[in-house]
């Protein structure tokens, strides 16, 4: 099943890269510790991290009519040819018209709308020029950049690289996805905001307790007020592990603060590491249980978030499209088979899609669109943000060295 919504971003971005060091006037950058000089790779990655697979579109949306997408600041087209989805750079080398304005004149190819240059979708080779005859001398001398594409779980995944062989998509997917059958509901939506602010918001320890206290999704559940959290790394995932969870506090000279209301379920008394409101005592799905996640929120490169509840897992990722914009991808999964999947569909379409992937994450969209950093003054819960940035720094150094060693799958013309 795939349900989705694809909308144009609603706010105009004011800068091509609102988070970038280079875009900020020097006087705004202030002293060390308030800018991003501690994370130079991250600071420079406003167009996205290269050498990864990204979930760009729902499978059923890709047809034999080419469509344009943006990924890591590059334009590409997706087209379904004889059942297989292909990705090609979306700029005709002749005069720069988007190839996605063209169509398919022959199987296995796409033809530019302007002068009929015809490219092989698999190799990118210019294999016919319809307005220059069958002996056109330019034929075979131009290669258009192609992008590796895989379809998995109803999603079209595109590898954004530089002509090297990609790593297997499975290396990037959550390990529990390999464990058997599941059902999923999805929402794809174009949003305004730097992709890095969106990932940081996803793994941010502090905000959910305050920003989302008014979300309808949490109408009957009490959110904590503050936590003591430790960041732990296990394999390629960083986890937020709760050491203390607080629900009511007396702030000196200010007053008492709590998210508890008489109509909400009473908060649990013990520290919990599954679900963000504490679901102690609830039966845990066996596939989820088997993973023994140390914490309910985890993040992996290149910004894939996992939030674990007893009976389902919610995933989010923020695909870097153009500077200052991203594509939100929300995926809700329940590890069930056969007839037991039916209640999931009803629950997803009837509630989760609107309350959670809609209104709840809409609050995140609002804040990500408003974030303006650096400069910034971080506080104790932001160890979640800084550990994620550190992961990007450390992983990218190794990843780039490995990419440089990879065999070439294509040498393309620039």
Residues that bind ligand FES (CB under 6 A): 92, 94-95, 97, 112, 114-115, 117
Start-to-end Cα distance in the chain: 39
The one of ligand FES, Fe ion, none whose footprint includes residue 403, by CB under 5 to 8 A per kind, is none
What's the closest the beta carbon of residue 117 comes to ligand FES, in angstroms?
A: 4
Which one, 113 or 228, has the nearer CB to ligand FES? 113
For residues 95 and 248, which CB has a smaller minimum distance to ligand FES in the complex?
95
Task: Identify whether the C-beta of residue 303 lies closer than 8 Å to the C-beta of residue 195.
Answer: yes
> Interior CA angle at 122 toward 116 and 127, to 5°?
35
Q: How far is the CB of 356 from ligand FES (least distance, A)?
A: 44
Residue 291, CB-side half-sphere exposure with 13 Å CA sphere? 28
* Nearest distance from C-beta of residue 112 to ligand FES, angstroms: 3
Q: Does residue 299 contact residue 392 with C-beta atoms inside 8 Å?
A: no
Residue 130 binds which entry of Fe ion, ligand FES, none, with Cβ cut-offs from 5 to 8 Å by kind? none
Considering CB distances under 5 to 8 angstroms, the limit depending on partner class, which of Fe ion, ligand FES, none binds residue 364?
Fe ion
- Any residues with CB less than 8 A from the CB of 330 and at least 6 apart, and which? 186, 187, 189, 314, 315, 316, 356, 357, 361
Among Fe ion, ligand FES, none, the one that 95 touches (CB under a kind-dependent 5 to 8 A) is ligand FES
Least spacing, CB of residue 49 vs ligand FES, in Å: 31
d(CA 277, CA 77) in angstroms, rounded, equals 42
Q: Which is nearer to ligand FES, 49 or 112 (CB)?
A: 112
Q: Nearer to Fe ion by C-beta: 106 or 366?
A: 366
335 binds, among Fe ion, ligand FES, none (CB under 5 to 8 A by kind): none
Q: In three state form, how does the secondary structure of 135-184 look?
A: CCCCCCCCECCEECEEEECCEEEEEECCCECCCCHHHCCCHHHHHCCCEE
**41 vs 97, which CB is nearer to ligand FES?**
97
Residue 351 structure tokens: 């509630």
* Cα gap 77→86, rounded to integer Å: 8
Taking the least distance from each CB to ligand FES, the nearer of 95 and 282 is 95
Residues near Fe ion (CB under 5 A) are: 364
Residue nearest to Fe ion (CB): 364
Least gap, CB of 286 to Fe ion (angstroms):
28
DSSP state of 407: P
Out of ligand FES, Fe ion, none, what residue 53 binds, judged by CB under 5 to 8 A for its kind, is: none
């Amino acid at each position: 099943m795939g349900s989705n919504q694809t909308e144009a971003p609603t706010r105009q971005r004011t800068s091509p890269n609102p988070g970038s060091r280079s875009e900020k006037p020097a006087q705004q950058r202030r002293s060390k510790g308030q800018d991003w000089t501690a994370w130079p790779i991250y600071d420079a990655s406003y167009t996205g991290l290269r050498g990864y697979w990204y979930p760009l579109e729902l499978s059923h949306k890709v047809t034999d009519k080419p469509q344009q997408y943006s990924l890591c600041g590059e334009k590409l087209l997706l087209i379904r040819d004889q059942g297989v989805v292909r990705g090609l750079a979306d700029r005709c080398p002749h005069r720069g018209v988007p190839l996605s304005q063209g169509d398919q004149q022959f199987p296995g190819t796409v033809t530019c709308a302007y002068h009929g240059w015809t490219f092989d979708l698999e190799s990118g080779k210019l294999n016919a020029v319809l307005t220059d005859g069958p002996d056109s001398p330019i034929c075979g001398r131009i290669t258009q950049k192609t992008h590796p594409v895989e379809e998995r779980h109803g999603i079209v995944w595109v590898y954004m690289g530089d002509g090297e062989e990609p790593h297997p998509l499975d290396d990037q997917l959550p390990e529990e996805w390999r464990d058997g059958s599941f059902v999923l509901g999805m929402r794809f939506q174009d949003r305004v905001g730097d992709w890095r602010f969106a990932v940081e918001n996803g793994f941010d320890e502090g905000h959910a307790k305050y920003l989302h206290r008014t979300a309808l999704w949490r109408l009957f559940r009490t959110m904590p007020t503050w936590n003591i959290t430790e960041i732990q790394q296990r394999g390629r995932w960083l986890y937020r592990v709760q050491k203390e969870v607080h629900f009511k506090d007396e702030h000196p000279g200010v007053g008492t603060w709590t998210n508890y209301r008489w109509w909400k379920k009473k908060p649990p008394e013990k520290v919990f590491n599954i679900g963000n409101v504490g679901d102690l005592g609830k039966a845990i799905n066996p596939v989820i249980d088997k993973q023994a996640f140390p914490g309910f929120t985890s993040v992996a490169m290149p910004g894939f978030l996992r939030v674990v509840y007893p009976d389902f897992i919610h995933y989010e990722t923020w695909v870097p499209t153009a500077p200052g914009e991203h594509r939100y991808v929300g995926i809700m999964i329940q590890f069930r088979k056969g007839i037991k999947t039916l209640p999931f569909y009803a629950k997803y379409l009837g509630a989760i899609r609107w309350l959670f992937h809609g209104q709840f994450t809409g609050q995140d969209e609002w804040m990500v669109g408003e974030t303006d950093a650096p400069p910034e003054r971080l506080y104790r819960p932001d160890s979640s943000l800084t550990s994620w940035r550190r992961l990007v720094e450390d992983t990218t150094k190794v990843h780039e060295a490995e990419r440089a060693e990879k065999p070439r799958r294509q040498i393309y013309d620039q």
